Structure 1
C-alpha cells in the first residue's frame, strides 16, 4: 500500500478506515495539501489499483476510496494472513507509521520473522499487550480523559509543589473546575481498573 500511495515533499496520507466490501478490504485514505492531481495519477497507474474515486473534499484535504487487489507477496497480505487488524496508518514521502493488532503473540512473532527475512526496514516504536482484552490501546481511557490526564501530568498538576491549579487546568480545556476534577478522577479510576486491579485478578 505504501508503494501505491506514494507521495512527494511534505504531503501526508492517512488511512482513515478499511471497509470489507467483497473479498478485499476497501481502503479510505485522506491526503493533505495541494498534491491531488499527482497523487491520483500515480495511484491510477499502479497495477494493483482498479479505481480511485474522491469521496469528500474539505479545505485542502480529500478523502478517497480505493479499489485494489494487494499482491500475494505484499506486506499487507502477510499481516492479514496472520489475522492482524490494521488500526491506523499515516504515510509521508519517506516512511509509513502503522498500528496493528495481532490475535496472538505467536502471530506477531511470525510477522516479525517475515519482515526480517524479507529485509523490510521496520522500526518498532511500541508493543502493547492489554491486560484486559476489552480495554483497547489506551487502557480504556476516552480521548478527552487521555488528553486531560496527559496535560495534567506534563503541566505539573501532580507535582510537589503543584505548578498548575485545577482552575487553570479547567480553563485550558474550557470546562468547569468540577468537570476537570471529575474527568481526572474517572480517568485515573479507569487506568487502575484496567492495569493494577486487572493484573491482580489474573
Structure 2
C-alpha cells in the first residue's frame, strides 16, 4: 500500500521560496497536472503578491529557473508556466527519482509544505536521505501515513479533505451557474487558505474524473 509523507522545507532551501521572501502575504502553490516522469512541476499559482511584476523579475533571475510565462490572471493571483534548469533543484529531482507523486505543495516566505505519495516506506527513506545529503536543504518529516481512500456514493475515490471540501463547495453553490459562492467563501467556511481550497477542489475533481473515465 502506498504511503503519504508530509515534509516541511525551509523557504531558503527551495528556489521559489526566495522569490517571495519579502512578501509576507504571498503564497505559491505548485500545480501538478502531468505525470512526474513527464515534467518537473511546470505550473505554479502565485497568490496575494503585492507586486506580481516584481515576482516575475525575481523568479526570472533565479539560476534554477530558465523561463517564466504568465498564463492567466485572477483577482488575487496569477498562474504561471515555468521551465526548470536541469539538476538545479534537489527536492524536485529526488521526488521524481524516488517515484514520488506530488499531491500538494504550498509555500510562503517562511516554509514550504510538500505532501507526496510514495509507493513504499523505503522510497520515503531514500527521498529524505537523498535530499538532506544535498547542500543547504533543510527538510523535516512531519507525518507519514498509509494512504486510506474511501468509495463515495457516486463511485469516486476521495480523501477525507477532498470529500469535505467538495461537499462544502457544492452545498454553498460554488458549482452553480452562475456561482453562488467563490473559493474564498469555501475557504472561510472550512478555515483554510483560498489556495488550499483551490488545490483540494481541483485534486478532488481530478480523482473523480479519473475514477469515472480512466
Q: TM-score range by the shorter chain?
A: 0.5 to 0.7
- Cα drift, residue 73 of structure 1: 6.1
Deviation digits for residues 136-190 of structure 1 (CA, Å, limit 9, x no counterpart):
6735962348869xxxxxxxxxxxxxxxxxxxxxxx99xxxxxxxxxxxxxxxxx
The 1:87/1:110 distance shift into structure 2, 3 A limit, reads same
Q: Say which of 24, 30, 33 aligns to 2:45.
A: 30
Does the Cα contact within 8 Å between 1:130 and 1:136 map onto a contact in 2?
no
**C-alpha spacing 1:91/1:108, structure 2 compared with 1 (3 Å):** same
Which residue of structure 2 aligns with residue 165 of structure 1? none
- Give 1:9's aligned residue: 23
More relative contact order in 1 or in 2 (CA 8 Å, sep 6+)?
2
The answer (yes or no) to whether the contact 2:60–2:67 under 8 Å persists in 1 is yes
- Structure 1 pair 145/55, CA: closer, same or farther in 2 (3 Å)? closer
**Which residue number corresponds to residue 159 of structure 2?**
138
Matched residue, 1:77 = 93
Which SS does the other structure have where 2:146 is aligned? Answer: coil
Q: Is the 8 A contact 1:90 1:96 kept in 2?
A: yes
* Structure 1 residues 57 and 131, CA gap change in structure 2 (3 angstroms): closer
Contact 1:14–1:91 (CA<8 Å) still a contact in 2? yes
How far is the alpha carbon of 1:61 from its aligned partner? 0.9
Instruction: Specify the alignment match of 2:209 in structure 1.
Output: none
Whether contact under 8 Å (2:46, 2:79) holds in the other structure is yes
C-alpha contact 2:36 2:96 (8 A) present in aligned 1: no
Structure number with higher strand proportion: 2
Q: What's the Cα RMSD here? A: 3.5
Tell which structure's C-alpha radius of gyration is larger.
Answer: 1
Deviation (angstroms), 1:113: 2.2
> Structure 1 51/93 Cα, relative in aligned 2: closer, same or farther at 3 Å?
same
1:126 is displaced (CA, Å) by 1.8
Q: 1:59 to 1:102 in 2, by over 3 A?
A: same
- Aligned pair in 2 of structure 1 residues 112, 136: CA closer, same or farther (>3 Å)? farther
TM-score (norm 1): 0.60
Question: How far did 1:133 drift?
Answer: 9.4
User: For 1:45-194, what aligned pairs fall within 5 Å after superposition?
Assistant: 45-71=61-87, 74-118=90-134, 120-131=137-148, 138=159, 142-144=163-165
- Closer, same or farther: CA 147–65 of 1 in aligned 2, 3 Å: same
Aligned residues between the structures: 150
Using the size of structure 2 for normalisation, the TM-score is 0.57
Gap runs ≥5 in structure 1: 149-171, 174-202
For 1:104 and 1:22, the matched residues in 2 are separated by 18
